[in-house]
A and B are shown apart, each in its own frame.
Chain A
Amino acid sequence: MPPIDCEDQELLEGFLTETTELIEKLDDDLITLEKSSDDTDLMNRIFRSIHTIKGASSFLGFDLLVKVTHKTEDVLNRLRKGELVVTPEIMDVILEATDLVKVLVSDIKAGEIQEREIDGTIAKLLPFLSDSAAAAQKAPEPAAAPVQAPAAEAPAPAAAEQPPVLSAPETPVDAPPAAAVVPPAAPVPAPKPASEAAPKKTPAPPKPADGKGDDLSDSSTVRVDVKRLDDLMNQVGELVLERNRMIQINQDLQQGEANRPDFQEEFGKLTKRMSFVTSELQMQVLKMRMIPVEKVFKKFPRIVRSMSRDLGKEVDLQIFGEETELDRSVVDEIGDPLIHLIRNAMDHGLESPDERIAAGKSRVGTLVLAAVHEGNQIIISIKDDGRGIDTDRVGRKAIEKGLISEEQLAAMSQREMFDLIFLPGFSTKDKATDLSGRGVGMDVVKTNIKKLNGLIEIKSEKGQGSEFILRLPLTLAIIQSLLVEVEGEVYSIPLSSVLETIRVDQRKFHMIGGQEVLKLRDMVLPLVRLQKVFNVQQRYERDDFCYVVVVGAADKRMGLVVTRLVGQQEVAIKSLGNYLANIPGIAGSTILGDGRVTLIVDPVGMIEGNE
C-alpha cells in the first residue's frame, strides 16, 4: 500500500491528535446519548465531532474516512432533527461505524492506508436514511421496533454476501443514493469530494479489519494546560535567581569572605530555597505528566454495554473518581488489566436477571468502578454485587486442572484460595468463549500490575459480590524508596512494595526444605538474604540481630534480610542502559545526594525468582 502522501506532516499530526481526542469523547457521548436521547446539547456535540472529522479528512484526502463519516453524519443529522428516534439498533450501527472510523484512523497513524471493507457498515447505515425508516419510526411506538428492525437487517446481509469487490466499480452504485438523500436531510456546508475522489482509488484486495483501533490511546504528543506551563516558567525564573545567588556566594567564598559571621546563615538559606524551588519544579513537571484516569475509564461504558447485550445481563455501571490523575506511563499500562477485571465481573460475577431475582436481588446488577488517591498511591476498585467467588468451586477446578494438589488445597486459607484465580491456565469455565474461559485474563492482570509495582487485593463474599482493589504507584519515574544497607553496600527498595520492616533475632529463623522462613504473626514468610543473592562480601562481624523488610508484589509476600535500615528517600529512577538491562533482582539505579549510584532492588523479580 502506498504510504500516506501528505504534504504537510504537521497538518497530519494535528489531524491525528484532534481526531483521536474526538473519537475518544465520541464513544462516551454515544453511550450517554442512548440513556438520555432528548439531550440536544449532547446530540449536537456528537454531530459536530463527526462533522469535524469528516471535514478534516476530506481536506486531507482520506476518502474511506470521508465516506464512513459522511453517512454516519447523515444518520446523526436525522436523529438531531427528530426525524428518527434513538433506538438500540441505530446505536449499534452508529457504534459500528465509529469503530470503523477508529480502524481507519489507526491505519493513517500507522502511516499506511489500507483498503478496508467499509461498504458493509455503510449499507447498515443506509436504511436509516431512507424515508421509510423515518415513517416506520413515526408509527406508534410498539409497532416501530418490529417494522424497523427488518428494514435494518435486510440490506445488511446483501452487502455482506457481496464478494470483496474492488471499491472502484462499486462507488457509483452507492454514490447516487447518498447524493439523493443528503440535500433534503442535511444542509451540510461541507462539499462532497468523496464521490469525485473515489474513482482515483487504486483497486486492491481489501484486507480484513484486524486492528481494533485500541492503539489510539498512546500518543506521542502532549497537550498541557497553559496555566501549568506558566507556573513552570515562574519556577524556572526563581531557579535562575537562586543560581545567581549561588554564583555570588561562591565568589564571596573565593575572595575569602567565608569567615564573615553571616556567611553560614546565607548559605543555609540558599540551600533551603534551592531545595524548595527544586521540589516545586519537580511537582510541576510531574503534574504535566499526569492525566486523568478518565482516559482509560471512558472506554468502559462502551465495553459494558456491548457485553451486557451479548450476555443478556442487565448492568448499571457506575464510575467514580474519573478525574483522579496519574502518570501517563501508568495510565497506558492499566487499560488491559482493567478490561479483564471488568469482563471477569460481567461474565463470572454478575448473574443473569432471572438468577438475580431468584436470589432476592434487584434485576439490574451494579458494577462500580472507582479511583481515588491515597498518599503516593492510586487505588482503583472494581466492585460488583454478583455471586462472589465460590472458593469451593475454585479449589475443585484448580485440582481438576492439575494446578495444585489436594493437600495443598487443604492447607490453604481463604485468601490463598482467592489467589488461585490468578494462576495462569485457571478458569472455572469448561468451554472457552469469546469472552472468557481460556485462563489468560487474570494472569494478564497479575503480570501487568506486578510490572507497575502494584498490589492486588480481593474481597469477596459468596452471594454478595466481589471487589478487586488495585494499588498502584502514581508515577514510575520518581519513587519513594527505602534505603537499606547490606554489609556496607547501600540498596534502595521501592517503598510502594514495602509492607513493613522488623528487627528480628536471626535465631528465630526456621529452615523449611532449604528455604529460610520467619513466622510473622499468622503468616509464614519466606526469606531472601540480599547478601547472598547479590554476592556481597561479609564486612561486619556476624550479628544476631538483623532487619527484615517485608515486601509484597501483587498477591505474594516475602522478607528481604538486610543489615541495617538507612532511611527513606525520594529517588529518580535511572536506567542502567542496554548492556546491564536485565540483571535479576535489579530494577534500575538511582543517584543519591552524595553523587553515588545506588541500585534499586526489584522485589517483583525477587519474588518471581524465588518461586
Chain B
Amino acid sequence: MQDALVPMKIDDTHGELIQLVSFNLDQEEYGVDVLKVREIIRMPIVTRVPNTPHYVEGVINLRGKVIPIISMRKKFGLMEAENDKQTRIMVMDVEGELMGFIVDAVSEVIRISGSEIQPSPAVVSGGIDQECIAGVINQAERLLVLLKLEMMFSRDEKRFFSGM
C-alpha cells in the first residue's frame, strides 16, 4: 500500500501527503487511496448473477467491459438501504481487476499526511472485517476509516470467486 501512495512532501515534520476519496456508508465516512479509484458513476441497470455471494449485486456494462458490482453495505453487514440520487458506484482497481462498489454517497477528495493515520481501535463498526481497515484518520471534526482494498476479500472468498 505504502508504495502506491503519492510521495509528495509538504513539510519535514508531517511525512508524505496522501490523497483519499472519501465516501459515506450508513453513518460512517470512509476513505480509499485516490490512485485505486478509476471512476465514479451513477447507478446503471445491474444484471443479477445467480449463485454468487449475497453481496455481489451483479454485473454492469462499463463502456463495453463487464465488471462485477459489490454492495458495500451488504459486504460490511450493514442495513440495506434504497438507492437514491446520492448513490454511486466507485469503480476501483482491486488487485488488477476492475470492480464496482455501491456506496451511499461520494463526498470529496481530501489530502492528509501519512502521520495522521492511526491504527484502528479494536472495534470500529458493525460487521466490517478488521482485516481491510488500514487505519483511522482523526481530524478535528471528522473520523475517517481508511480501507485497504486488497484485503476486501478474504482468502476463502477469493477461492469462491475463482472456483473451488
**Residues of A participating in the B interface, judged by any CB pair closer than 8 Å:** 489, 533-536, 574-586, 589, 591, 595-599
Contacts and interface: CB of A to CB of B under 8 A. Distances in A.
Contacts of A598: 47
Interface stretch (B18-26, B27-35, B52-60, B129-137): B52-60
Contact of A596 (B45, B49, B52, B158): B45
Interface residues of B, number: 27
B57 to A, nearest CB: 12
B64 interface: yes
Contacts of B49: 576, 580, 583, 586, 599
Contacts of B161: 578-582
Interface in B43-102: 44-45, 47-52, 56, 58-61, 64-68, 97-99
Nearest to B70: A579
Contacts of B153: 579
B121 interface: no
B126 interface: no
Nearest to A589: B66
A251 B45 CA distance: 29
Most-contacted residue by chain B among A535, A574, A580, A586 (CB, 10 A)? A580
A597 B50 contact: no
B98 A577 contact: yes
A327 B50 CA distance: 31
28 contacts: A534-B50, A534-B51, A535-B50, A536-B50, A576-B59, A577-B66, A577-B67, A578-B97, A578-B162, A579-B68, A579-B99, A579-B153, A579-B162, A580-B49, A580-B56, A580-B68, A581-B161, A581-B162, A583-B50, A583-B51, A584-B51, A589-B47, A595-B44, A596-B61, A597-B59, A599-B47, A599-B50, A599-B59
A41 to B, nearest CB: 51
B66 A585 contact: no
Nearest to B157: A579
Interface in B116-164: 153, 158, 161-164
A579 B66 contact: no
Contacts of A534: 50-51
Closest 4 CB pairs of A and B: A582-B163, A534-B50, A597-B47, A579-B161
A529 to B, nearest CB: 12
A583 B59 CA distance: 13
B48 to A, nearest CB: 7
B90 to A, nearest CB: 16
Contacts of A580: 49, 52, 56, 59, 68, 161
Contacts of A575: 66
Given A574-B65, A577-B67, A579-B161, A589 B48 contact: no
Given A580-B59, A580-B68, A597-B59, A585 B50 contact: yes
B73 to A, nearest CB: 19
B68 A576 contact: yes
Nearest to A574: B66
Given A534-B50, A578-B97, 14 more contacts: A536-B50, A577-B99, A579-B68, A579-B97, A579-B162, A582-B161, A582-B162, A582-B164, A583-B50, A586-B51, A595-B61, A597-B59, A597-B60, A598-B47
